[in-house]
Amino acid sequence: MPPPDLLFSKAAFASGCLRALPAALRASSPHPPEDGHPVPADFLGVCVAASDSPAGDTFVVNALRQAGLKHVRIDLTYGFESAPAGRLLNHLVAEGFTPWIHLVQPFADAREMPAAEALERWIRFIRNAFQTYRAPGVVFEVGSTCNRRKWTGYPGLDAFLQAWRAAVLEAREAGVLLAGVNVTDFEPVYNAGLLEILSRHDLLPAIHSDNLFAERATEPENNDPKILGPRLAGVLPFNLVRKARLLDAIARRYDIRETVCTHTAWSARRIQRLLEDADGKQADYLARYLLLAAASGALSRVYWGPLIGQREGLIDDGTQEYPEPIPHVTLYGRAPGDPANYRIRPAFHALRTLASFLPGATWSRSLSTCREVELLEFKTKTGLVHAGWTVNGKAADLRSVYAPGSLASARALDRDGRPVSPAPAVFTESPIYLFWDNPSMPSLSSMPSLFQNLTVLPPLGRHHEPVHQAGWAGFVTLPESEWPADNKRDLLLPESLESSFGRDVLRQARNTVWSGPHPFAPGESLVIKRACAQAWHKRLLSLFQPSKARRSWNSACELARRGIDTPEPVAFFERPVRHAARVPSYFICRRFPGSGSVRTAFTAFAGSAESFEGMAKLDFYAALAAFLGKMHERGVYHRDLSAGNVLAQIREGRAVFSLIDTGRARFFNHPLPLRLRLADLKRICHPLTWPERKVFASLYLAPLKLEFTGLRKLPFVLYDWKHRIKKCLRPFRGK
């Protein structure tokens, strides 16, 4: 066989970018279309793969039926006919599912392209697949993350294009639909450049495919930080909606009427770089992504993937296996593990909930003008659906949006499809769905607005409610099982807590701190902190700050979201005045069991003790170093990390730590630099002798592959001198 003619041309690629991208950019928008459009009835799909055991096929079929999905994407490579993948495909077809068949050239063969032998094997493979599985509704896709050479094996774009040309010619001969070219992520220069080349050679796909991930933006609503950089991301906003609309505009320039996202997901490992509840956030992001994608009108279908997998799967495979170096987006060829050990993740339930109403609905309008709050309206055959949520950690007032009768007539579901009755008081980061059946329609009072400078805990299993009562403003959160009847909610107000029986004063200084019985959880205690700026300079600085109670609340909620233990926040109250920090405010949390702190342990170690509550000193140091390391890796800078502000207790031989006095904390979306880490460490290490400091600091720095050198000791030395000077000045300050 003579060598094939070259297809790739730098000039044609550049021409495609120059001609298609500016027009597509003008045609796209970061907002959904104002005109309504139907959401395709086959809008939702999922990527599947076979287990080694035939029992896995039955599990997949049952899971798909449970989720209400009919469309599946399956990856096939050489030899699939006699492998588990072929067995699963035949099972799916027999059960009435519509497959989207992704044909993948093996890495070793792709690396040899366009050598004659490799090309011949590829042609035989695709010809057999087309002839065997062609049927109404079946789509074949070629292109496996063609813009990622290290994953596909192709030595260059021309090698991939030779494989593509062969597939197009065989598809025309077989009379099947061919989709491509499977660009991965948002890199529209590849979409524009490659489609221009294919157009010039009459090799365009029938359907345009792209793996439109949004992981790198952290949240689906965020602008992509890698286009112009994090600081300029808002200058040329590229959120999910705009990216989908731009890709669709590029395809339509070449008269391709459908753009399909063939694989997208959120990795649990990526989520856990910052947040603790990876399963919950994966479900939030799935729901928010698919709702925005449906509203965009730019994607005719979205395949979530994989169905079963360790990091991204809607179902956890129960193993530690991950396909390295070729990820699932390139070849999802196998579902590891034993079906008996599979675990359904919340994301599966979130997808099932969407599948119950979103496909076949009609996009109506967006009811929010606030970037941090989404309220999307869809029309169904039976009525109206509103889907509302906020960005991570925020809350918006739901009750002010609707007239009281409208909420009373609505049926509310949470993200996972569980009924919520009555309808919640707030929108949070987990979507809420409100349904009105014909002819009942909601009456809106206002647009949704964000509670300013407020962070809240994830809502599932909790009741959140803002407070505007008896001259107080604030927020309360409790587990659903503890939420009180209307006539008992006053028991959490400051006046009730000030006069409660069993009051145990813990601190009487700048702030008053006491504990008392939990009015709604017998046997448990609450800690109440009454704070007020007293010194003249503190009162001056507080003019433009939130109240101390609100700052403590926000920090506690954000710490909990990031998996850093702190006493569970229950409520905060402040006066609704212009300068809330100048008048008393109250922060309420559950009491941490035990009375010890790191200061108790460090003071004992400085006095030659070898253990704390039965735990050996080195084990205690190692546990504390791991706790602080996790805190700093997740972007938490405490700023007041004295040894007394880290509570400690030994439970069943394990050290448990909890942060308090967190009102000054700062939070970043990246690990802390060493400078800020040492700023925290110098405070907590102050009670230790220098030899003990060296031991502890070395344990902390070891995972960073750093040593406690002289330069890194300098902040500790300066902090010691600061304390000596303050001690000398105390008599002159009247202390």
Residue 719 is part of a domain; what is its CATH number?
1.10.510.10
Question: 586 and 602, same structural domain?
Answer: no
pTM for the full predicted model: 0.95
Q: Compute the distance between CA of residue 99 and CA of residue 96 in angstroms, rounded to an integer.
A: 9
Question: How far from the centroid of its chain's Cα atoms is residue 384's Cα?
Answer: 28
Asked whether residue 454 is assigned to any structural domain, the reply reads no
Determine what percent of the chain is predicted with pLDDT higher than 90: 80
Residue closest to 416 by CA, chosen among 466, 461, 369, 468: 461
Counting DSSP H helices and E strands in the chain, the numbers are 21, 32
Name residue, tokens 């500790």. Answer: 716
Identify the residue whose tokens are 């989520």: 271
Looking at the structure, tell me whether residues 297 and 413 fall in a common domain: no
Say if residue 175 is in the same domain as residue 60. yes
Q: Read off the pLDDT of residues 250-302 as tens digits, 9 standing for 90 and up.
A: 999 999 999 999 999 999 999 999 999 999 999 999 999 999 999 999 999 99
Look at residues 328, 355, 382 and tell me which one is the last residue of a structural domain: 355
CATH, residue 329: 3.20.20.80
What is the per-residue pLDDT for 545? 80
pLDDT in tens, 40-57: 999 999 999 999 999 999
* CA 189 to mean position of chain CA atoms: 27
Residue 171's H or E segment, with its range, is helix 157-174
Give 434-487 pLDDT, tens digit per residue.
999 988 889 999 899 999 999 999 888 899 999 999 899 999 999 998 988 776
Give the range among 206-215, 433-442, 627-636 with minimum mean pLDDT.
433-442
Q: Give the model's pLDDT for residue 533.
A: 59
What average pLDDT does the structure give for the chain? 93
Q: What's the rounded Cα separation, in Å, for the pair 72 and 92?
A: 9
Q: Does 382 fall in a domain? A: yes
- Would you state the pLDDT for residue 490? 87
Q: Does residue 580 sit in the same domain as residue 608?
A: no
pLDDT band at 506 (very low <50, low <70, confident <90, very high): confident
> What's the CA gap between 333 and 50, in Å, rounded?
7
Residue 672: pLDDT band (50, 70, 90) is very high
Q: How far apart are CA 261 and CA 242, in angstroms?
A: 14
Same domain, 375 and 480: no
Whether residue 269 sits in one domain with residue 416: no
Is residue 404 assigned to a domain? yes
pLDDT, position 534: 61
Average pLDDT over residues 545-565: 95
d(CA 108, CA 118): 9
SS3 readout for 85-139: HHHHHHHHHHCCCEEEEEECCCHHHHHHCCCHHHHHHHHHHHHHHHHHHCCCCCE
Q: Is 612 in contact with 663 (CB distance < 8 Å)? A: no
In degrees rounded to 5, what are phi and psi of residue 28? -90, 165
Region of 150 (left: φ > 0; alpha: ψ -120 to 50; beta: rest) is alpha
Residues 81/43/381/425 CA torsion (nearest 10 deg) = 120
577 and 486 in a common domain: yes
Q: Is residue 2 part of a domain?
A: no
Query: At residue 638, what is the residue type?
Result: H
Percent of the chain's residues with pLDDT above 70: 97
Residue 446 lies in a domain: no
- Residues 373-386, mean pLDDT to the nearest whole number: 96
| Residues 416 and 516 both lie in one domain | no
- Residue numbers of the domain that contains 489: 462-590
pLDDT digits (tens, 9 = 90+) for 111-165: 999 999 999 999 999 999 999 999 999 999 999 899 999 999 999 999 999 999 9
**Domain end (from 298, 322, 355):** 355
Residue 192 shares a structural domain with residue 147: yes
Total count of domains within the chain? 4
Q: Does residue 443 belong to any structural domain of this protein?
A: no
**Residue whose pair of structure tokens reads 């010194």 in the numeric block:** 535
Positive or negative, the CA dihedral 280, 275, 370, 397 is positive
Decide if 495 is inside a domain. yes
Does residue 538 have a pLDDT over 60?
A: no
pLDDT surpassing 90 at residue 102: yes
Please report where in the chains the tokens 């989207």 appear, as a residue: 100
Average pLDDT rounded to a whole number, residues 375-396: 96
Distance between terminal CA atoms of the chain? 94
- Please check whether residue 447 lies inside any domain of the structure: no
Distance (Å, rounded) from C-alpha 515 to C-alpha 517?
7
pLDDT of residue 365 exceeding 60? yes
Same domain, yes or no: 478 and 516: yes
pLDDT at site 532: 75
Measured CA to CA, the distance from residue 466 to residue 569 in angstroms comes to 14
pLDDT value at residue 541: 60
